[in-house]
Chain A
Amino acid sequence: MAPSNDNATAPKLELREVDKRYDRVHAVKRLSLRLMKGEFVSLLGPSGCGKSTTLAMIAGFEPPNSGEIAVDGRRIEHLPAQRRRIGLVFQDYAVFSKLTVRANLSFGLEAKGTPRDTRHRLVAEMASRLELTGTLDRRGGRLNMSEMQRVALGRVLLTEPELVLLDEPMSNLDAALRAGLRSELKQIQKQLGQTVLYVTHDQVEAMSMSDRIAVMNAGELQQYGTPDEIYNRPRNRFVAEFIGDPPINLLPCEIKTVAGRMVADTACHRGLVLGRGRIDPGRHWLAIRPHHIVAAPAPGVGWAPAIVRFVENLGAEHVLHVEYGDSLARVVVAPGFAGEGETVHLAIDPARAHLIDGASGDAVPLAPAEAAA
């Protein structure tokens, strides 16, 4: 917990080309990742993308087939889990059900051989910080979810780990509880300046808590960046589709180059000027978030009419599923804007759209086109 005087430039945790293969599955493919001190990083991806395997390798339960894992520049792959000084909070919290909260909290300290008095003081401090003082003498098996999360976190923090790994700690909680625990967790992490690697498949958790997000799919790192970068500049089709709720629209488009600028024609919109970039002309994808398609009741120049197929009510806003060529596109509007079967008029802001290469699935970097316009 206490800030150490380590070289500030060395990353707290560094994975270099870490590779893990099971009999038939290539679980993690040459993963490289760096966490700086005090950073909250999320490892985000669908089930089976290799994120839990990555966590198990860092914690020391699975040996990597190749690659290096270093904490503060020191390699730890050869160390047993007991000696890695890495805290791990499990999906089910794994609070020791037969021990009291007090014994749970002091477990790591006892194992380290911390003297009794120091132990008592530290446990009391942590308990009051996590508001567990009232439950100290209760058995681990008799706690509610919020208390269990705090006990699991507290007992890990008390051992002053180099970093804390959290393995989908909220996946078996209901939505109302999650929001509360999320802010609780983020506050504690900020207070202590603790480096955290948080594994989740829930983009809301990743977006709301992280300093940086590492998106994984099929054992490969797809993109590593701040939540803004991930959301606004997805590097490929997978990231674009995985992040964002409601999900991004992928519209098939035809790309032409006109006077050095790329121009896209979709099923309903023609001549969308995207900017400068390099791509083979032909069929590609135009990715645009439902929030960035503008809908109006009456037509204007460049607006395309579309029929509303059905309306998803999210309370604060409605998502219109409108006919767009052969498929449906999602458009976010204010509640009560249009009903099923009505015709709305759509405009796309080309500056907010991403061009995705139809062949490779990678996003094509675009330079602004205002100079030519």
Chain B
Amino acid sequence: MGGARKRARPTADARGNALMDQDTAATMPTTRIRKPLIPFNVGLVLPAQLTMLAVVLAPTLIAIYLSVTDWQPTAGVPWYRAEIVWFWNFYDLWYDERYINALWRTLLVVVVAVVCELAIAIGLALLFLDEWPWRKLAVSVLILPMMIVPVDAANAFFMLFNDRGPINHLIGMAIGRSFEFSWLSDPNWALAPIVLCEIWQWTPLMFLLMLTGFTNLLQNQIRAAIVLGASRVRIFFRIMLPLLMPVIAVALLIRGIETFKIFDAVYILTRGGPGASTETISMFMYNGAFVYFRIGYIAAAALLVLVVVVSICLALSRPLKRHHG
């Protein structure tokens, strides 16, 4: 049957086309609407895509190339003529304690900062679930830190934690004698102001996410738990928190990635010092690339971080996908 149809079709088509040609020749206007060079929808997206290529893909490719060279701008050789060292950069990184330490330190900052942000944000969001006077105004005030330029926030913390700054002054008032402690020049304590600054600035974002999450929870499940006689604590842990899990996962992911890139606070408060005791991974790269000018080596370091971050994200996003699937 299929064969018969195949044989029959060409003749019919040929006849049809012949007729069409005669018709169009007689009736079609001489000026045709020209088909656009690129379709409209493609044209809309193209500029953005080209920009992305220019600022993301090209630098990434160059970085991959640089990571297998030992290029240093101070050596007087243009980057495209740099000597290829293949994987020695990665080998060196593996034994570079400063790099490994910076990675672990960054991870510590991420975990401490994000967990604190989450805990404070959930607490605040619970407070803001009930209606009370000036509630809307209070929300606006609470989210102010988020609006401040990170460098300014860091400068504020720099002043707060100064030797003779307000923090020391307050501690002095609390313990009843003058208190002086150089927070930012003590290797054991210098990370604390950095983490505090991060928490202060980004808890508001977490708070907004949690508040939206809580207000969108299924109210009847909570009411049902109330009439079943459950206490507030039990309702929170058994009903509200499990329902909020997807929102929490997204919030952790967003803030985790953001905090991993922490730079402003470190740069303003300590520049990674004293020594390298507060050097996070982005500070390490800044120092390596723009203080010691070891571009090739740092490109390799950056690539490794990229691989680590992307795999963590993929691992975290899998349970989310399962939730929606």
Most chain B CB neighbours (cut-off 10 Å) among A88, A112, A155 = A88
Binds B, one of A93-101, A187-195, A273-281: A93-101
A117 CB to closest chain B CB, in angstroms?
A: 20
Q: In the complex where A82-B231, A111-B229, A155-B228 touch, is A61 in contact with B243 (Cβ < 8 A)?
A: no
Contact of B218 among A94, A111, A155 (CB under 8 A): A94
The CA-CA distance from A110 to B104 in the complex, in Å, is 42
Q: A84 — which chain B residues lie within 8 A by C-beta?
A: 227
Contact of A96 among B225, B229, B231 (CB under 8 A): B225
The CA-CA distance from A107 to B230 in the complex, in Å, is 8
Residue contact B231 to A90, C-beta cutoff 8 Å = no
The CA-CA distance from A97 to B245 in the complex, in Å, is 12
Contact of B227 among A82, A91, A92, A98 (CB under 8 A): A82
The CA-CA distance from A81 to B226 in the complex, in Å, is 7
Residue A42 at the chain B interface, CB threshold 8 Å = no
The CA-CA distance from A88 to B221 in the complex, in Å, is 11
A155 CB to closest chain B CB, in angstroms?
A: 7
Residue contact A60 to B225, C-beta cutoff 8 Å = no
Residue contact A90 to B224, C-beta cutoff 8 Å = yes
Tell me the B221-252 residues at the A interface (CB within 8 Å).
221, 223-231, 234, 238-239, 242-243, 245
The CA-CA distance from A110 to B229 in the complex, in Å, is 9
Residue contact A92 to B220, C-beta cutoff 8 Å = yes
The CA-CA distance from A103 to B228 in the complex, in Å, is 13
The CA-CA distance from A111 to B231 in the complex, in Å, is 7
A141 CB to closest chain B CB, in angstroms?
A: 10
Residue A159 at the chain B interface, CB threshold 8 Å = yes
Tell me the A89-143 residues at the B interface (CB within 8 Å).
90-92, 94-99, 103, 107-108, 110-112
Residue A252 at the chain B interface, CB threshold 8 Å = no
Contact of A90 among B220, B243, B245 (CB under 8 A): B220
Q: B225 — which chain A residues lie within 8 A by C-beta?
A: 96, 107, 111
Residue contact A97 to B221, C-beta cutoff 8 Å = yes
Residue A86 at the chain B interface, CB threshold 8 Å = yes
Chain B residue nearest in CB terms to A103: B238
Q: B226 — which chain A residues lie within 8 A by C-beta?
A: 81-82
Residue A69 at the chain B interface, CB threshold 8 Å = no
Chain B residue nearest in CB terms to A82: B229
Contact of A87 among B221, B227, B238, B243 (CB under 8 A): B227
Residue contact A94 to B228, C-beta cutoff 8 Å = no
The CA-CA distance from A113 to B245 in the complex, in Å, is 26
Residue A83 at the chain B interface, CB threshold 8 Å = yes
Residue contact A94 to B220, C-beta cutoff 8 Å = yes
Residue A243 at the chain B interface, CB threshold 8 Å = no
The CA-CA distance from A320 to B245 in the complex, in Å, is 58
Residue A59 at the chain B interface, CB threshold 8 Å = yes
Q: B239 — which chain A residues lie within 8 A by C-beta?
A: 96, 98-99
Chain A residue nearest in CB terms to B239: A96
Contact of B228 among A61, A92, A98, A108 (CB under 8 A): A108
Residue contact A81 to B227, C-beta cutoff 8 Å = yes
Contact of B229 among A95, A103, A112, A152 (CB under 8 A): A112
Q: A170 — which chain B residues lie within 8 A by C-beta?
A: none
Chain A residue nearest in CB terms to B232: A82
Residue A304 at the chain B interface, CB threshold 8 Å = no
Chain B residue nearest in CB terms to A107: B228
Residue contact A99 to B238, C-beta cutoff 8 Å = yes
Fill in one digit per residue for B199-229: 1 if any A CB lies within 8 Å of its CB, else 0.
0000000000000000000101101111111
The CA-CA distance from A194 to B238 in the complex, in Å, is 28
Tell me the A148-179 residues at the B interface (CB within 8 Å).
152, 155-156, 159
Residue contact A156 to B228, C-beta cutoff 8 Å = yes
Residue contact B238 to A88, C-beta cutoff 8 Å = no
B83 CB to closest chain A CB, in angstroms?
A: 58
The CA-CA distance from A112 to B231 in the complex, in Å, is 10
Residue contact A94 to B223, C-beta cutoff 8 Å = yes
Residue contact B223 to A61, C-beta cutoff 8 Å = yes
Q: B230 — which chain A residues lie within 8 A by C-beta?
A: 82, 107-108, 110-111
The CA-CA distance from A92 to B242 in the complex, in Å, is 19
Chain A residue nearest in CB terms to B235: A111
The CA-CA distance from A109 to B223 in the complex, in Å, is 16
The CA-CA distance from A371 to B226 in the complex, in Å, is 61
Q: In the complex where A99-B238, A99-B242, A107-B238 touch, is A94 in contact with B224 (Cβ < 8 A)?
A: yes
A164 CB to closest chain B CB, in angstroms?
A: 10
B218 CB to closest chain A CB, in angstroms?
A: 7
The CA-CA distance from A87 to B221 in the complex, in Å, is 14
Chain A residue nearest in CB terms to B222: A94
Q: B231 — which chain A residues lie within 8 A by C-beta?
A: 82, 111
Tell me the B59-106 residues at the A interface (CB within 8 Å).
none
Q: In the complex where A82-B230, A112-B229 touch, is A98 in contact with B223 (Cβ < 8 A)?
A: no
Besides A91-B220, A92-B220, A111-B225, 19 new A-B residue pairs in contact (Cβ under 8 A), listed by A number: A81-B226, A81-B227, A82-B229, A82-B231, A83-B229, A85-B229, A90-B223, A90-B224, A95-B221, A96-B221, A96-B239, A97-B218, A97-B221, A97-B243, A107-B225, A108-B229, A111-B231, A155-B228, A159-B229
Q: Can you list 24 A-B pairs, Cβ within 8 angstroms, ordered by A? A: A61-B223, A81-B226, A82-B226, A82-B227, A82-B229, A83-B229, A88-B223, A94-B221, A95-B221, A96-B225, A96-B239, A97-B243, A98-B242, A99-B242, A103-B238, A107-B225, A108-B228, A110-B230, A111-B225, A111-B228, A111-B230, A111-B231, A112-B229, A152-B224
Interface, chain B (partner A; CB < 8 A): 218, 220-221, 223-231, 234, 238-239, 242-243, 245
Which 9 pairs of residues, A with B, have the shortest CB-CB distance? A98-B242, A94-B220, A108-B228, A94-B224, A111-B230, A88-B227, A111-B229, A90-B220, A94-B221
